[in-house]
Chains A and B, each alone.
Chain A
Amino acid sequence: MFSIAKLSFKETLYKRIFLIALLMTIAFLIFFGVANHYASKELEEQLSFLGGDIGQLLMEKSMFATQILSIGLFFANFITILLTTLSTVGSVSGEIESHQIDTILARPIKRRDLILGKFIGLGSLLVLYSLFIFGGVILMNKLFGGALTITLSFEQFVKAGSLFLTLPLITAALGLWLSTRLTTINGGIIMIVLFGISFIGGFMEQFGALMKNVALQNIGILSSLVYPIDALLRRMTVMLFDVADSPLSFAAKGLFGTVAMPSNAMLIYSFLYGALLLFLAVRKFSKRDV
């Protein structure tokens, strides 16, 4: 299993997928830092002028701060999920299509170990990448956020970060499952569409909560059941922005805010969802011809 994990890890590195992703991520982080800098500069000028209502300005500051960081994390998640999709959806089907898998399976390796090895290999790399981009976004906000800097406790950072790191793992399980059943192109289309459904469903759920519209909320819940990525991301933002000693929850504001917080049951469901997909991937691959 660990030989396969090592091979998958090496493949992603050797093919320079991660090098390109890392370079583009650095470019994104620089861009995000510059945006933070100019946004905070403007706000600081307004605060120093004290021309307006100071209370209103402080409220606006809080909202802008959470929104800017949320946008950064939303995009970080987008890149991570996309990278996970690209690296997992063809990891089995692509090798079957090219017959690269033939000589591997002729070795004394259980098919179960091949899938689990790929999950471990790709998953560990994706977790490292997620940690890099999550930490990078927070760091940019710290370094260049100025007045828009979000103050986080270490505990908040660890809790939210841990949840952020599970997102690519759940997606990798989905990618591997699809990869054992479908061609690379079909699996890729399904994953991208599911990703879209998850986020649109998430927005619908938040609008539904604001408008007290049950139908919209149910659409959101349904989309989370199909692919719980958006629910996990929103839960992560709640963990990140909810300050214990503040009577206000900054996480509930704006387009990327979370009015209807995903429950603990949804958290458990998401983990079971990932585990089940991994189990189904192993089962399907054990039975299929290559």
Chain B
Amino acid sequence: MSDLVIQTWNLTKQYDGRAGCKNITLEVPRGVVFGFIGPNGAGKSTFVRTMLGLIHPTSGRAEMMGRPIGDIDTKRKIGYLPELFRYQDWLTGRQLLETHAELAGVPRHLRKKRVDDLIERVGMAGRADGKIRKFSKGMQQRIGLACALISDPDLIFLDEPTSALDPIGRREVRDLMSELKREGKTVFLNSHLLSEVETICDHVAIIHKSELVVQGEWRKLTEAQTRVQIRAAGLTKGILNSLDGLIRAWEPVDSSAEDNTQRFLLQLSGDDQIPELVNLFSQRGVMLYELVPIQPHLEDVFLHWVNRKEQEHVLNRQTVI
């Protein structure tokens, strides 16, 4: 069995030659919570809807679990919570789950237990027998989540799954995603909430203006901009500039008159350059009091890659002109 649950080759869906997603070549490993991030309107939902066969690609191809998109048997192993979660609101929550269990081909003898378990799991116990039209948005999202899991899928697409939830609900959904990961399932999390993705995802793909910017383990994507904060005495502008092969950028943070030290924020090419930096400071007589690697945030990674893509666009435009 392949280690990739999703694989796409230049998958493109354009509407009248605009928007949508363009030339997306993506690989999603099995058993991870995969964050698909990008600004609103970047093309995230278009990509997911194309993968699910709701819309037809303009060009390119894609596979899920080794089968082309739209394959009926593959769909038995897939769950989906759409961003615009709209269900048959004339049904009760329980009836909705029973209906989807039937549509998903869940064996009849398993349905009742599966429905009961999921109602419990998404925190809808005692409330699932009400009509969906009377549910709050948060309750609808919870029942939608249960609906996505009704076939006990191997791959679950969650499109903005916490958009209608309160902080407690968000936490519960994050825990649920972690549980699914532990069960060996793959969660494709489509979100623009970077803090949420950062907490639970190891792998991400960043999409911007319909194009894939970068993909991989997001902590590795930060290597390009390892940052450290230092407190030192005797560190001059001249010394910092003399190390331009090592230090990619620097900026003063503050200075202390008491011990004559100053704080700087330095950007290096990678973590492996930190020992060399300390060594060079020592050779140049810099008194190093403190060196703190700054833990990267997904937001930094995201902004770094998006800005880089923006600059490429500007350069391309200038070249054309």
CB <8 Å contact, B72 and A108: yes
- Nearest opposing residue in chain B for A102, CB measure: B82
Q: How far is the CB of B170 from chain A (nearest CB, A)?
A: 22
Of B52, B53, B86, B102, the residue contacting A99 (CB under 8 A) is B86
Which of B34-42, B87-95, B280-288, B303-311 is the contact stretch? B87-95
Q: How far is the CB of B78 from chain A (nearest CB, A)?
A: 7
CB <8 Å contact, A290 and B54: yes
CB <8 Å contact, B104 and A289: no
Answer yes or no: B221 CB below 8 A from chain A CBs. no
Give bound CA distance, A3 to B105, whole Å: 10
Q: How far is the CB of B205 from chain A (nearest CB, A)?
A: 21
Q: Which residues of A contact B102 (CB under 8 A)?
A: 3, 6
- Nearest opposing residue in chain A for B105, CB measure: A108
Q: How far is the CB of A137 from chain B (nearest CB, A)?
A: 31
Of A15, A107, A289, the residue contacting B75 (CB under 8 A) is A107
Q: Which residues of A contact B88 (CB under 8 A)?
A: 7, 11, 100
Tell whether A287 pairs with B103 under 8 Å between CB atoms, given A99-B82, A99-B84, A108-B72. Answer: no
Give bound CA distance, A6 to B103, whole Å: 11
CB <8 Å contact, B82 and A107: no
Q: Which residues of B contact A109 (CB under 8 A)?
A: 72, 75, 103
CB <8 Å contact, A103 and B56: no
Q: How far is the CB of B71 from chain A (nearest CB, A)?
A: 9
Q: Which residues of A contact B56 (CB under 8 A)?
A: 287, 289
Answer yes or no: B121 CB below 8 A from chain A CBs. no
Answer yes or no: A105 CB below 8 A from chain B CBs. yes
- Nearest opposing residue in chain B for A13, CB measure: B90
Please, what's the 1-or-0 string for B21-61, where 1 marks a CB less than 8 Å from any CB in chain A?
00000000000000000000000000001001111100000
Q: Which residues of B contact A6 (CB under 8 A)?
A: 102
Answer yes or no: A106 CB below 8 A from chain B CBs. yes
CB <8 Å contact, B91 and A107: no
CB <8 Å contact, B104 and A108: yes
Give bound CA distance, A14 to B84, whole Å: 23
Q: Which residues of B contact A4 (CB under 8 A)?
A: 103
Residue among A11, A15, A99, A106 with the most chain B CB within 10 A? A106
- Nearest opposing residue in chain B for A16, CB measure: B90
- Nearest opposing residue in chain A for B82, CB measure: A102
Tell whether A106 pairs with B55 under 8 Å between CB atoms, given A7-B99, A100-B88. Answer: no
Task: Pick 29 A–B contacts, CB within 8 A, sort by A.
Answer: A3-B99, A3-B103, A6-B102, A7-B99, A11-B90, A14-B91, A99-B84, A100-B86, A100-B88, A102-B49, A102-B52, A102-B86, A103-B82, A103-B147, A106-B53, A106-B54, A106-B78, A107-B75, A108-B72, A108-B75, A108-B103, A108-B105, A109-B72, A109-B75, A110-B72, A287-B56, A289-B54, A289-B56, A290-B54
Q: Which 8 A-B pairs have the closest CB atoms?
A: A289-B55, A108-B75, A106-B80, A107-B103, A14-B90, A99-B84, A99-B86, A108-B72
Known: A103-B80, A105-B54, A289-B55. 18 other contacts (CB 8 A): A3-B103, A4-B103, A7-B88, A98-B86, A99-B82, A99-B86, A102-B52, A102-B86, A103-B87, A103-B144, A104-B103, A106-B75, A107-B75, A107-B100, A108-B76, A109-B72, A109-B75, A110-B72
Interface residues of B (CB under 8 A from A): 49, 52-56, 72-73, 75-76, 78, 80, 82, 84, 86-88, 90-91, 99-100, 102-105, 144, 147
